[in-house]
Amino acid sequence: MSDDRLRAQRRLDLGLALAGEGDYAAAVEALQAACELAPDWVEAHFALAENLEKLPECRLQAETAYTTCLSLDPTDRMGARIRLTLLGAAPTPDRLPAAYVEALFDQEARRFDAKMREKLNYQGPEAIAEAVSIILPQLTHPARVLDLGCGTGLIAPSLRLAAGRLDGLDLSSGMLVQAVATGLYDSVRQGDLLKDAWLIDEHPYDLIAAGDVLNYIGDLAPVFQSASAALSPGGFFVFTVEAGEDTQIELGEGHRYRHGDTRLRPWIAAALLDLISLERRVLRQEKRQPVYGLIGIARKPVLSIDMGLPVPHFDQKTV
């Protein structure tokens, strides 16, 4: 490490310490020095931007610093574009940067389950389990099941009950290590659900479940299209999203997208899926406040529908 980088590291450490004490103006001064000493160090520029953002009079400077981060790292593993969006300085992207999501969950993997369950009172696995219990009588047995964005495997126990084969797909290698440790998956793969194939062979899935993964994607149209393509006729797609009120793509301060009923339905219909159920319920707590989500069940039409034959009946639930 060069002398300038060592000095920059000391300035960065000082800036972070000052920020921890709430002295953002002094933190900015130290972080500006770090950036001058190491102008290509994206972490220093990001820390500077974060602290400039805390000073109302420095908003434009914060935007400039975040823009510098993007120029230094176009993959945006720090999430600078998200910050620019929340500042109103950039349009809402269709998705969070894959590099950012991967880095975030690699870092969180070992403590993820405890954080979600104990700190956030995460109820997603229960919601998925209830949805699976509803469709279980109509599933092909033994069912081929895909846990999309499987993470550490929080919803795997309920999926395993329905699965003859259970596969997992996730962007984060760190999360997949934890998923493998559950012993519940027949296979896991690292991949980007918007870019990589969902199928591991020519055989489609009877059930695809996406718990707490669609929150990181704004435009879900390609997700529903991919689900439709990867499902067998009569197969089910069970998913959760954070609930939104707007018809537009909405990115919240927690860096998660919110989706409303009126936004979801056209996407599902365009993918030629039948919406069986869409139910609103609390999925987690954040800052001691309930965070509402939508739990959806969509189905790929079976051949008997086209032939006018009797089809299984479901009691539809809607928000």
Q: Where in the chain is the domain with CATH 1.25.40.10?
A: 3-91
Lowest mean pLDDT among 91-95, 160-164, 177-181, 304-308: 304-308
For residues 21 and 31, give the distance between their C-alpha atoms in angstroms, rounded to a whole number: 15
Answer whether 230's CB lies under 8 Å from 145's CB: no
Per the CB < 8 A criterion, the answer to whether 242 and 283 are in contact is: yes
Evaluate whether 41 touches 9 at the Cβ level (below 8 Å). Answer: no
pLDDT one-digit tens code per residue, 276-299: 999 999 999 998 899 999 999 999
Annotate the chain with three-state secondary structure: CCHHHHHHHHHHHHHHHHHHCCCHHHHHHHHHHHHHHCCCCHHHHHHHHHHHHCCHHHHHHHHHHHHHHHHHCCCCCCCHHHHHHHCCCCCCCCECCHHHHHHHHHHHHHHHHHHHHHHCCCCHHHHHHHHHHHHHHHCCCCEEEEEECCCCCCCHHHHHHHEEEEEEEECCHHHHHHHHHCCCCCEEEECCCCCCCCCCCCCCEEEEEECCCHHHECCCHHHHHHHHHHEEEEEEEEEEEEECCCCCCEECCCCCEEECHHHHHHHHHHCCCEEEEEEEEEEEEECCEEEEEEEEEEECCCHHHHHCCCCCCCCCECC
The pLDDT score that the predictor gives to residue 119 is 87
pLDDT tens for residues 181-209?
Answer: 999 999 999 999 999 999 998 899 999 99
pLDDT of residue 76: 98
Q: Cα 120 to the chain's mean position, in Å?
A: 16
* pLDDT on residue 245: 80
> Contact, 253 vs 224, CB < 8 A?
no
Largest CA distance in the chain: 77
On the question of pLDDT at 317 being above 70, the answer is: no
User: For the domain 108-307, what is the CATH code?
Assistant: 3.40.50.150
3-91 topology per CATH? 1.25.40
For the residues 32-41, what does the mean pLDDT come to?
97
Query: pLDDT band for position 303 (50/70/90)?
Result: low
pLDDT of residue 315: 46
Which of 119 and 1 is assigned the larger pLDDT?
119
Residue range 149-163: mean pLDDT, rounded: 97
* CATH 3.40.50.150 placement within the chain: 108-307
Instruction: Return the pLDDT at 304.
Output: 39
pLDDT tens string 83-120: 999 999 999 999 999 999 999 999 999 999 999 988 89
State yes or no: pLDDT of 227 exceeds 60: yes
